[in-house]
Amino acid sequence: MSRRADQQVPDLVERARAGQARAVARLISLVETESPLLREAMAALAPHTGHAHVVGLTGAPGVGKSTTTNALIGSLRAAGRRVGVLAVDPSSPFSGGALLGDRIRMQDHAGDDGVYIRSMASRGHLGGLSWSTPQAIRVLDAAGCDVVLVETVGVGQSEVEVAGLADTTLVLLAPGMGDGIQAAKAGILEVGDVYVINKSDREGADRLRRELRDGLALGEAREAGWRPPIVKTTAQAGTGIDEVVAEVDRHAAYLRESGQLHVRRTARARAEVEAIAVAALRRHWDDVAGRDGLDELAATVASGEQDPYAAADRLLEDRA
């Protein structure tokens, strides 16, 4: 970092709060690169957080997540709301990667300073979604976004993770996705607050809706006071999108009134604090034992000389 480092963070935070996209970009880059300035930035941002409603979008590849995100941005902007979008790719170990859909979205909303869109890889040295994404959300929140959309690429673990990060989780499905959807369904019935059946002009949309409704009815409700609605959309044409926004707003109101918003946000903060503490310890283990020291320990486990629990004890004893 430059010699101006000690002035850099307050200046960045001020400019981000004034809505300057470049300052927001720079702050998120601090997250992505695990910058030494990150800590100071988070401290400066903290008092300005808590306003944004965080909406997670998840669903298998091909259901139209990018198109839906784009349509949601349009609907939210039409209502004058400021929108931040994080497109997170948990499977990519590379940072700064631009997703295909990203550039398409960028074009639609280029020049609109009420929208901030960013692609993020989530696989830094310090681990996945739980480490970097909440901090990027924090940046967008402090920068005055009313809604932050977090879109994950891929299925599997990411669904559960994104549900942990969001106030409201949208699960997207589409008819005619074949076996993949069947396999994915088991994992999605527990995580959605609002279900969206996209591409609903296609054959099979009503059947999918029925199956989904039956599946949801069979499972245990995630929360006693909220029955997840199912909305049919054709994001490409903009159909149903305002209804999705209305259901998200209804869920946000439910969360506030029931006290669940506080519960979810506390759980999210808890995971974030734990992830940061664990990352600090990992760094400490590298520093103290040295990468080689830890590898030597690991080699004794690989060879069967000692079991991993005994080695973990040694690691924990080593701490200052």
Q: Which is nearer to a copy of itself, 24 or 294 (CB)?
A: 294
Closest CA to 191 of 159, 151, 226, 148: 159
Helix residue spans in the chain (DSSP H): 5-17, 21-32, 38-45, 65-78, 100-109, 129-142, 157-165, 179-188, 205-218, 241-258, 260-302, 308-317
Least distance in Å: CB of 283 to a copy of itself?
12
Q: Which is nearer to a copy of itself, 72 or 276 (CB)?
A: 276
Q: Which is nearer to a copy of itself, 113 or 295 (CB)?
A: 295
Q: Which is nearer to a copy of itself, 65 or 109 (CB)?
A: 65
Least distance in Å: CB of 216 to a copy of itself?
16
Least distance in Å: CB of 117 to a copy of itself?
18
Closest CA to 267 of 54, 114, 92, 72: 54
Going from the C-alpha of 27 to that of each of 14, 15, 78, 135, 263, the distances in angstroms are 11, 10, 27, 10, 27
Least distance in Å: CB of 178 to a copy of itself?
6
Give yes or no for a contact between 311 and 301, defined as CB atoms under 8 angstroms apart: yes
Q: Which is nearer to a copy of itself, 176 or 225 (CB)?
A: 176
Residue 145's region, left for phi above 0, alpha for psi from -120 to 50, else beta, is beta
Least distance in Å: CB of 48 to a copy of itself?
7
